[in-house]
């Protein structure tokens, strides 16, 4: 047969099949690339945002004797070269090259002599200190010397300290301080420095050099302070682990931009392998070499988030692919119906069955293969890595379309001049088939129950159970719909049979008896509506939980927090700032509970004013005029006595799970700010449309954050934005496919329906009655399937239950409030009904143009 001639004859159907295939291939090849690119970006952002001390690889070893000391830079360099040689291949692409890392030697818990363990002055050496600090007073340290102390000769280290350490540690420039309790050393402070770039990730490893560590031992009011000094390369020669806690470190920095989400499992395994290999290098030292890195834990947390994102993506993208294939198959069925007479004639004239099936397959391939290639090519415009599914998706679409086009005619035209009776009801299903369908329904319900009961499996990776249950529920809903769909219609048929009007009886009868023709539209509409509604409900649940999380993080429209007291004149300037409507003062601190060592976090605030600025926010606190609100850990104590500026005895007025913007776990209390003798305000809760940079300028030492900025930070996370945007795209695509399926289902049965209407019109059926008849024939299947699909979509979030943890995309709050917003379901159902009605009316208008005599003669010939 001449394929091109057939293509011209059925150009409209071929064009529809071309467009559907192109769109499906673009979606199934492009969306995975976009989602994987977002996964990669999310991983890189997580690694970039995490402290370097958590992401970098740090090889450490302790020195316990002079024989184990490293006194020259060359000794450090040779070991760094060794670490890079034994680095596993998976880690090399994401590890910065040689020269980007650094090495250090530091003592810990080195007390200043005579302070009773209240002040510690540690000795430190950095391999690249000259590139990291500027000396602002005095000079850089030089070579060590010796001196006599307590009858012994001890080393004298020249060191520098960070600027603020002089005042806080009660030190002076040029001062010599003795350290140690038995193995003494002298430390001469010859200069002060500041970091060239305090925000550099480098200082995450060396925060003890830039900052004073303050600790408050239990039961004590004073603080213990630690600071690490800087000494020179020459000072390293005298630094020994004999009598001191001396640790050497080699830092191999991670390159976050080189990380790939697909390599995360391999990276975790490689880090553990590197740790094992490093430990094997322990030769000539009593202390083993160890790898210290928080990278495995960080990657594990990312994998948990990624697993949830992939699960949601698999569900919605798998549903999208199934629906797209169903719509394409429906279009192929339409093309096969149009070719039926041609193929029957060819078969009757002696055409072989392979030739007949090959003709249908070739014509289908002429439409779908170019479309698949174009869609596949267009997918490369989407940024992202090329995954196997990018290649496999278009191939599956082509194989399914061409295979269905070949198998359908082959089954239909097994014998020449086949006779078909389309006016009889479908035969009753066998007992085996009914049993199998009942088994599928029971297993689907049992799977949903077990998933809610057990949650996700503890094994790594995807839980197959989570992926199978939604599919089983969709199949079960489709089987129930197909089996139960005719029964309510038959009831309406019996009722309509008693009426005098013939149109309702005829329309409903045809709808109840056309089960074989309605199977494919049902199988398309159910997952299309189910997955699209599921995606919309999940997206809305994420959005509402994100808003709640933003309010929980900030606790007010705008919050200003300082570590120390905010001056009164600064507060007045804030009140007068343009856009500020109300300012609520608060004081936070750590209080003593009772008279023992128990501590709790506290906030003193006017709760009434705070509740007023929250307005209709989804967070709040119970009213409090006196007494105290306590956390669950402090419940049941009646009157609570706390030490905060003075001793306070306050009656417990309520138990709260969290304090928005302040505390979510642990022991905490909320008290009226009026109980303080003189509130030391360090927090401002502000209502109004105010400029955050201007607030930061007015209170330089404070951190300024708003609910809107917190919300934006949550929404702009790559994984979060990808999940929500993909859900939106899939919702729109599936809604469009559902509408296309309705239109195609109308067209597939158009010829047979036109013939039946034409026969009835010869018996006196009017045009208006013909329109009503067509609508009554089509609408029941569409409405019933739409209602079941919408119910499935609304029920899937509840059915999956704890199987899908979306808290990672909602500010770490559990997404469980899937409120039933009926706007989208109503819009989808109404859209499908309107399309069906318009299609029915369009069908009658087109049929009206045909000659009744011609229709009857064609019908007689068949």
Structure confidence at residue 814 as a pLDDT band (50, 70, 90): confident
Instruction: Determine the pLDDT at residue 94.
Output: 92
- Assess whether pLDDT exceeds 80 at residue 654: yes
Query: Could you tell me if 109 and 121 are in contact, meaning their C-beta atoms sit under 8 angstroms apart?
Result: no
Mean pLDDT of 606-610: 91
| Distance (Å, whole) CA 819 – CA 825 | 13
Residues 187/230, Cβ–Cβ less than 8 Å: no
Residue 80: closest CA among 127, 48, 47, 10: 127
Three-state secondary structure along 620-681? CCCCCCCCEEECHHHCCCCEEEEEECEEEEEEEEEECCCECCCECCCCEEEECHHHCCCCCC
Average pLDDT over residues 570-587: 90
Q: Sign of the C-alpha dihedral, residues 312, 313, 316, 318?
A: negative
Whether residue 312 has pLDDT greater than 50 = yes
- Average pLDDT for 314-319: 78
Strand partners, 584: 685
pLDDT at residue number 454: 63
State how far the Cα of 543 lies from the Cα of 721, in Å rounded to an integer: 11
Q: What is the pLDDT of residues 105-146, one digit of tens each?
A: 999 989 998 888 888 999 999 999 989 999 999 999 999 999
Give the tens place of pLDDT for each residue, 58-87.
999 998 888 888 888 999 999 999 999 999
pLDDT of residue 284: 60
Distance between CA atoms of residues 197 and 69, nearest Å: 31
Give Cα 37 to chain centroid, integer Å: 13
Provide the CA 324 distance to its chain's centre, in angstroms. 25
What is the residue whose two structure tokens read 């020179």? 232
| pLDDT of 192 | 94
| Rounded average pLDDT over 370-389 | 90
Q: Which of 353, 365, 390, 386 is nearest to 375 (CA)?
A: 390
Give the pLDDT of residue 624.
86
Q: Give the model's pLDDT for residue 114.
A: 84
Whether pLDDT at 460 is above 70: no
Least confident of 578-587, 706-715, 792-801: 792-801
User: Which pLDDT value is given to residue 683?
Assistant: 92
> How does the average pLDDT of the chain come out, rounded?
82
493-547 tens-digit pLDDT: 777 777 777 777 777 777 766 644 456 677 777 887 787 787 777 778 888 888 8
Q: Where are the alpha helices (DSSP H) in 498-514?
A: 503-513
Q: How far apart are CA 481 and CA 487, in angstroms?
A: 10
**Could you tell me the two tokens for 144?**
């060590």
What is the reported pLDDT for 862? 43
Give the model's pLDDT for residue 69: 87
Q: Is the pLDDT of residue 573 over 80?
A: yes
Handedness of CA 556, 558, 560, 561 (dihedral sign): positive
Kind and range of the H or E run holding 37: helix 11-49
Percent of the chain with pLDDT over 90: 24
Most confident of 386-400, 716-730, 751-765, 837-851: 386-400
Give the integer Cα–Cα distance in Å for 208 and 202.
Answer: 12
Under a CB-based contact definition with an 8 Å cutoff, are residues 558 and 749 in contact?
no
Whether residue 362 is predicted with pLDDT greater than 80 in this model: the reply is: yes
**Span 821-848, pLDDT tens digits:** 667 667 766 776 677 677 666 666 665 5
pLDDT one-digit tens code per residue, 149-185: 888 889 999 999 998 888 888 889 999 999 988 888 9
Q: Tell me the average pLDDT across 319-341.
A: 85
Task: Look at phi and psi of residue 35 and say left if phi exceeds 0, alpha if psi is from -120 to 50, else beta.
Answer: alpha
The alpha helices in 124-164, defined as continuous H runs, are 129-132
Secondary structure of 19-32 as H, E, C letters: HHHHHHHHHHHHHH
Residue 459 confidence (pLDDT) above 50: no
pLDDT, one tens digit per residue, over 9-45 is 888 888 989 999 999 999 889 888 888 888 888 888 8
For residue 686, give Cα distances in angstroms to 353, 451, 762.
80, 45, 78
Tell me, what's the pLDDT at 428?
67
pLDDT reported for residue 291:
93
Token pair for 701:
């030492």
The pLDDT, as a whole number, for residue 383 is 86
């Amino acid at each position: 047969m001449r394929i091109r001639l057939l293509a011209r004859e059925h150009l409209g159907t071929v064009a529809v099949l071309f467009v559907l295939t192109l769109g499906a291939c673009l979606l199934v090849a492009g969306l995975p690339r976009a989602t994987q690119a977002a996964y990669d970006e999310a991983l890189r952002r997580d690694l970039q945002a995490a402290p370097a001390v958590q992401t970098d690889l740090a090889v450490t070893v302790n020195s316990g004797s002079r024989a184990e000391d490293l006194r020259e830079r060359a000794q450090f360099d040779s070991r760094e070269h060794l670490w890079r040689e034994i680095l596993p291949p998976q880690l090399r692409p994401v590890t910065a090259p040689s020269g980007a890392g650094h090495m250090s030697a530091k003592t810990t818990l080195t007390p200043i002599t005579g302070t009773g363990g209240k002040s510690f002055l540690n000795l430190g050496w950095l391999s690249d200190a000259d590139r990291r600090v500027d000396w602002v007073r005095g000079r850089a340290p030089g070579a060590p010397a010796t001196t006599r102390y307590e009858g012994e000769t001890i080393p004298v280290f020249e060191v520098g300290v960070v600027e603020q350490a002089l005042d806080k540690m009660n030190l002076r420039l040029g001062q010599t301080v003795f350290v140690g309790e038995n193995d003494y050393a002298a430390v001469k402070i010859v200069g002060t420095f500041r970091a060239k770039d305090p925000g550099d990730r480098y200082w995450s490893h060396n925060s003890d050099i830039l900052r004073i560590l303050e600790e408050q031992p239990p039961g004590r009011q004073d603080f213990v302070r630690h600071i690490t000094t800087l000494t020179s390369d020459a000072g390293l020669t005298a630094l020994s682990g004999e009598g001191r806690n001396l640790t050497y470190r080699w830092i191999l920095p991670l390159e976050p931009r080189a990380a790939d989400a697909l390599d995360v499992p391999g990276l975790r395994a490689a880090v553990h392998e590197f740790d094992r290999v490093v430990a094997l290098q322990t030769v000539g030292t009593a202390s083993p070499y160890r790898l210290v890195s928080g990278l495995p834990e960080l990657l594990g947390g990312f994998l948990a988030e990624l697993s949830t994102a992939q699960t949601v993506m698999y569900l919605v993208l798998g549903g999208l692919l199934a629906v797209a294939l169903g719509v394409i198959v429906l279009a192929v069925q339409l093309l096969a119906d149009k070719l039926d007479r041609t193929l029957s004639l060819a078969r009757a004239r002696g055409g072989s069955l392979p030739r007949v099936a090959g003709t249908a397959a070739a014509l289908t391939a002429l439409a779908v293969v170019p479309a698949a290639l174009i869609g596949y090519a267009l997918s490369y415009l989407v940024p992202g890595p090329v995954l196997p599914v990018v290649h496999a998706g278009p191939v599956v679409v082509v194989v399914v379309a061409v295979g269905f086009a070949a198998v359908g005619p082959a089954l239909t035209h097994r014998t020449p001049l086949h006779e078909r009776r389309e006016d009889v009801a479908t035969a009753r299903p066998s007992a085996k088939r009914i049993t199998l369908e009942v088994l599928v329904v029971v297993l689907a319900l049992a799977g949903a129950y077990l998933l809610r009961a057990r949650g996700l499996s503890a094994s790594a990776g995807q839980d197959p159970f989570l992926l199978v249950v939604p599919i089983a529920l969709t199949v079960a809903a489709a089987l129930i719909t197909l089996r139960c769909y005719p029964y309510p219609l038959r009831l309406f048929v019996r009722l309509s049979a008693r009426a005098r009007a013939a149109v309702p009886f005829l329309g409903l009868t045809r709808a109840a008896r056309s089960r074989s023709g309605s199977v494919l539209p049902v199988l398309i509409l159910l997952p299309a509506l189910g997955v699209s509604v599921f995606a919309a409900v999940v997206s809305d649940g994420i959005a509402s939980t994100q808003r709640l999380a933003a309010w929980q993080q900030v606790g007010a429209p705008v919050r200003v927090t300082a570590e120390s007291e905010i001056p009164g004149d600064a507060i007045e300037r804030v009140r007068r700032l343009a856009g500020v409507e109300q300012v609520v003062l608060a004081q936070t601190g750590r209080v003593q509970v009772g008279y023992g060592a128990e501590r709790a976090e506290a906030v003193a605030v006017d709760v009434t004013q705070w509740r007023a600025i929250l307005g209709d926010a989804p967070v709040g606190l119970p009213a409090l005029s006196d007494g105290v609100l306590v956390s669950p850990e402090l419940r049941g104590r009646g009157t609570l006595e706390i030490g905060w500026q003075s001793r306070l005895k306050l009656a417990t007025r309520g138990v709260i799970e969290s304090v928005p913007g302040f505390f979510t776990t642990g022991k905490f209390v909320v008290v009226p700010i009026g109980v303080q003798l003189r509130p030391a305000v360090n927090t401002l809760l502000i209502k109004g449309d105010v400029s955050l940079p201007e607030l930061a300028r007015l209170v330089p030492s404070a951190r300024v954050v708003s609910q809107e900025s917190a919300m934006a930070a949550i929404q702009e996370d790559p994984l979060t934005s990808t999940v929500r945007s993909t859900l939106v795209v899939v919702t729109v695509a599936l809604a469009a496919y559902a509408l296309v399926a309705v239109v195609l289902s109308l067209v597939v049965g158009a010829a047979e329906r036109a013939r039946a209407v034409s026969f009835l019109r010869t018996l006196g059926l009017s045009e208006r009655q013909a329109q009503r008849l067509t609508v009554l024939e089509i609408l029941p299947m569409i409405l019933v399937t739409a209602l079941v699909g919408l119910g499935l979509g609304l029920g899937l979030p509840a059915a999956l239950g704890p199987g899908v943890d979306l808290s990672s995309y909602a500010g770490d709050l559990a997404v469980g409030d899937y409120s039933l917003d009926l706007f989208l379901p109503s819009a989808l159902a109404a859209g499908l009904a309107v399309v069906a009605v318009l299609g029915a009316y369009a069908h009658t208008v087109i049929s009206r143009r045909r000659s009744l005599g011609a229709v009857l003669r064609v019908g007689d010939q068949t």
